[in-house]
């Protein structure tokens, strides 16, 4: 059984006087223990909202509605009462966010921000907690951890801050770690280090990792399974190799095709996906990607395509998928 099984998760935001926003419109994917699963998509595709919904961190308000199921080890997280969910967070499921500086409390020392997790979930106190915090900082690669414990976030570099946040996340050895664009706000060289760190931790402790990103390069280097999101729905799910070798959704093809290549000829133009994320058809009216898709046919409009699952596990949501000849190239653009 999968560690995390998300089934038809939907999140809508309704505001007075404005149209309801379907941020997440029926997302389903699963995460196996010890594996790295990717959630890929452009900004606005709903990947962050999905993770926040799973964690129960969406702002509680009148206009926010969450539907569907998110089964963690059999328990539906979305049905848990707030108290129980608070116990799960930080202990069984942890999350790290995009901007390390704003994600840290500026007026509290780093050490306290680490030990508070230990105090809360592992019942540690005083010296024991401090030592463990030091050990954690060391584990995530922060030099001179003893001194860092007393320092404040603004005294650390961007990379170190993210490491500290990772330390806080893994402090209780959660079985699932969700990383929402953890490297987007960092320098490229630091990015690589952080990703290596995450890979290390995952391998060492068997934690499952959900990697949310828009960067296919990150995905290629880390993820075992990849889910591509568009318009609030999963449009393609595949293991790493098949996805990059033979993508079955035109959006994925477009994403892969838009990556600048070192071996491209001199003067060769970049190939972006035409249109923009605003050219979105609501799913009930047809395939959301249709307005931007070169492979659009009549069947694409009117009803939303269903998710087709092939025997090897590769799934895609398209009625006119690019044909593959299994030599690694998708024909017909």
Q: Residue numbers of the site for other proteins (CB under 8 A)?
A: 17, 55, 57, 86-91, 94-95, 97, 99, 102-108, 112, 116-117, 120-121, 152, 154, 165, 168
Calpha distance 241→268 (Å, rounded): 27
Distance in Å, CB of 210 to other proteins, minimum: 13
Q: Considering beta carbons, is residue 103 or 227 the nearer one to other proteins?
A: 103
CA dihedral 255, 257, 261, 264 (to 10 degrees): -160
H/E element holding 66?
A: strand 64-72
List the Cα angle 36/40/43 in 5-degree steps: 140
CB 227 within 8 A of CB 39: yes
In angstroms, what is the minimal distance from the CB of 105 to other proteins? 4
Task: Indicate the residue among 167 and 218 with the shorter CB distance to other proteins.
Answer: 167
For other proteins, the closer of residues 90 and 250 by Cβ is 90
Nearer to other proteins, 21 or 192 (CB): 21
* Least gap, CB of 235 to other proteins (angstroms): 26
Question: Is the CB of 91 or the CB of 199 nearer to other proteins?
Answer: 91
* Burial (Cβ within 10 Å: 0-12, 13-18, ≥19) of residue 309: exposed
Q: Which is nearer to other proteins, 7 or 116 (CB)?
A: 116
Contacts of 272 (CB under 8 A, 6+ apart): 258
Query: Between β-strands 36-40 and 4-13, what pairing exists: parallel, antiparallel or unpaired?
Result: unpaired
Q: How wide is the angle at C-alpha 233 spanned by C-alphas 307 and 166, nearest 5°?
A: 120
Nearer to other proteins, 88 or 238 (CB): 88
Cα 94-199-98 angle, rounded to 5 deg: 50
Please give the Cα distance from 166 to 186 (Å, whole number).
14
Pick between residue 87 and residue 196 the one whose CB is nearest to other proteins.
87
Beta carbon of residue 90, minimum distance to other proteins (angstroms, whole number):
3
Calculate ∠ Cα 52-54-58, nearest 5°. 35
Alpha helices by DSSP H, listed for the chain, are: 47-55, 82-88, 110-122, 126-139, 145-148, 158-170, 188-205, 216-222, 240-245, 250-258
User: In angstroms, what is the minimal distance from the CB of 81 to other proteins?
Assistant: 14
Minimum distance of other proteins from residue 181's CB (angstroms):
13
38 vs 174, beta carbon nearer other proteins: 174
Q: What is the 3-state secondary structure (H, E, C) of 210-242?
A: EEEECCHHHHHHHCCEEEEEECCEEEEEEEHHH
Q: How far is the CB of 191 from other proteins (least distance, A)?
A: 19
Residue with the two structure tokens 């806080």: 168
Integer Cα distance of 293 and 297 in angstroms: 9
Q: How far is the CB of 182 from other proteins (least distance, A)?
A: 13
User: From the CB of 192, what's the least distance to other proteins, in Å?
Assistant: 24
């Amino acid at each position: 059984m999968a560690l995390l099984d998300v089934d038809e998760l939907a999140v809508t935001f309704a505001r007075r006087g404005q149209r309801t926003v379907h941020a997440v419109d029926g997302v389903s994917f699963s995460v196996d223990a010890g594996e790295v699963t990717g959630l890929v998509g452009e900004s606005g595709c709903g990947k962050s909202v999905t993770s926040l919904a799973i964690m129960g961190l969406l702002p509680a308000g009148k206009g926010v509605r969450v539907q569907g199921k998110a089964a963690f080890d059999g328990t539906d997280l979305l049905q848990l009462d707030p108290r129980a969910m608070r116990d799960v967070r930080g202990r069984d499921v942890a999350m790290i966010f995009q901007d390390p500086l704003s994600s840290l409390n500026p007026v509290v020392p780093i050490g306290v921000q680490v030990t508070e997790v230990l105090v809360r979930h592992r019942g540690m106190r005083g010296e024991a907690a401090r030592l463990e915090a030091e050990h954690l900082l060391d584990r995530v690669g922060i030099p001179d951890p003893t001194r860092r414990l007393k320092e404040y976030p603004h005294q650390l570099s961007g990379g170190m801050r993210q490491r500290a946040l990772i330390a806080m996340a893994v402090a209780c050895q959660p079985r699932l770690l969700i990383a929402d664009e953890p490297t987007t706000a960092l320098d490229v060289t630091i990015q690589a280090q952080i990703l290596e760190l995450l890979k290390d931790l995952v391998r060492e402790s068997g934690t499952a990792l959900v990697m949310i990103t828009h960067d296919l390069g990150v995905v290629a280097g880390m993820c075992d399974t990849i889910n591509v999101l568009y318009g609030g729905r999963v449009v393609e799910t595949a293991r790493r190799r098949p996805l990059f070798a033979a993508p079955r959704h035109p959006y994925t093809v477009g994403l892969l095709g838009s990556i600048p290549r070192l071996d491209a000829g001199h003067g060769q133009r970049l190939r972006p996906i035409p249109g923009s994320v605003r050219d979105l058809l609501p799913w009930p009216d047809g395939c959301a990607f249709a307005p931007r898709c070169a492979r659009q046919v009549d069947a694409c409009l009117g009803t939303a395509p269903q998710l087709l699952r092939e025997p090897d596990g590769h799934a895609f949501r398209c009625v006119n998928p690019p044909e593959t000849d299994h030599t690694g190239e998708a024909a017909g653009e």
